[in-house]
Structure 1
Amino acid sequence: MKALFCILFSLITMSFYAQKTFTVYFETDSYQLSTSELNRLDKHFINKEVTVKSVTGFCDARATSEHNDSLAKNRAQFVANLLKKMMSASGFEQISKGENFVQNENMSKNRKVEIVYFETTTKPLQEEKIQVTELKKKINTSKIGDKLILKNMNFYDRMDVLYPESKPIREELLQALKENPKLKIEIQGHICCTLGKDNEEIALKRCKAISNYLISSGIESNRVSYKSFDATKPIFSIPEKNEEERKANRRVEILIVDK
């Protein structure tokens, strides 16, 4: 009977902590994920409690083996850094296989990183209690024409995808708009480091991403507008002296248009 119990317990434990694999794919010769793959990664792991076992980088066989080894390593490192930020993952194995695996005939399937993990529990989807935050206090006491900096509103480098830890700030802004139906805002984006116009329009894309989120969450489109200033209105002179100054210049502000 005791032996049978042990076997049953082992089967249940193995089922509960079943090993799973999730794969993300890269563009040719790139070690950074595209916006669509970043969103897919974020969506897959949201509301999950997982333990990451390993992160393995792969390449197609287009270039030299030395180049592919380096690229696969960089891909694994990039994803590993994301997982550390997204879910505080640690202690997992980081592997680089380069082109040394059975290559798929579809080259795009070889440019990848495989994440092996154990899913322990799933967080229940429930509405969190919204507290009176610093942002909401500032909005409530603001006047028309005031500008408020959205502190810690940080995005992945050169992308319009928010870091997971920055999403609560976006939620606070949404809640403030819901609680103040007359409030109208302009989202203003700024970047650091290089004077002049940004041809990639990163700041504009980030403003638009926040605007789209608010509107898709039920805020009327006539209450939200956006504008990019690129690096034309820095807080600190460019070139900045250190990362703190660059971070301060790389910001999102909201202008109170009406309330």
Structure 2
Amino acid sequence: MTKILFFLSFQMIVSQNLVKNPSFEDFDKCPWKISMFNKNVDYWSCPNHGSTDFFRACGNTKETKDNYNGEQTPFSGDAYAGIYCYAEDDYREYVQGELHEKLIANETYTIRFYISLAEKSTYSIKNIALLFTGERIGVSTKSASILNSPKGSYQKFGNLSKKFINPETLNTQNDILQNDALIPFYNDTNEWMLVSFIYQAKGYEQFFTIGNFKSNQETDINQEKPEFIHPFAYYYIDAISIEAIKNTYKTDTIYTFQNVLFEFDKAILLDESVEELDELYSYLEHNNLKVEIYGHTDAIGMQTHNEKLSEERAKAVTDYLIKSGLEFNRIQWFGFGSSKPKVENNSEENRGLNRRVEFKFMKL
């Protein structure tokens, strides 16, 4: 099953996906057994000695669905991968991908991929991360790399095993992206869940690895089964994208959020709002500006209630940005209720346009 949570939105120009074979559609042999990811899926590999799985329908079976840890249909195309992100004795599996070109220093990129927890998993976790490196780590693939070239050496990554990869021990430049403190547990076994990051590149990034880079002791876990023999968290992964984004914001211009959503008649942000707010925070993080947040409602209901609700929603957006790291003195919020409609409140469609949250950048 698939649920698209939200899209890139306001004033964002998105370039092409830089990930080679982003949904694992190109491969050598159709997977007739488990552990057929490494050296089989084009431009992908396993960076440690774990045995990542590759799922795709073969032969007369036309739908990729059932597998040994549950069932799921691909988010995109006909294939997906499966990795153990938590298991006994710190066992881990990862997917390592390659970019068409290195990231450009100081450019901002959006990173997105989709995961789904396998039904038989006894735990869910929140420590799914992405690690950028300048070279391929671990064992070789059928694509050229420093490890299977004449000058390559296995000794550089000889400390890797089947256990978790600790980025601090890698003998290569790397940066890790993770949102552990700001997200709930990834525990949906039916729908695909979006994992997203905003990242300012340093210019060396050519490869990336996705998985859990923490030990069992450090991993945040949530028990999903009341009884079990072996503790594990197994995730399907699909549709990986890394795209450059260009912001075209102007100061003293009001913009409307497209996907900042709330529970009905409440000021509680829905999960769908996170990516757009992260984009806004990333822009503020790299620009010397302040921002004002404006909340608005339609004309249904009492005026005093609408004013309070609009102010609380603007404050909820403000609180999220401050929690993300924005300084208090760079943001203000205001609630206008129904006093500043964009259009007349004479239809449900128009009232939907009037229920909105806006923002405006200003110079410090």
Q: How does the TM-score come out when normalised to structure 2?
A: 0.36
Q: Would you tell me which structure has more helix in proportion to its own residues?
A: 1
Q: How does the TM-score come out when normalised to structure 1?
A: 0.49
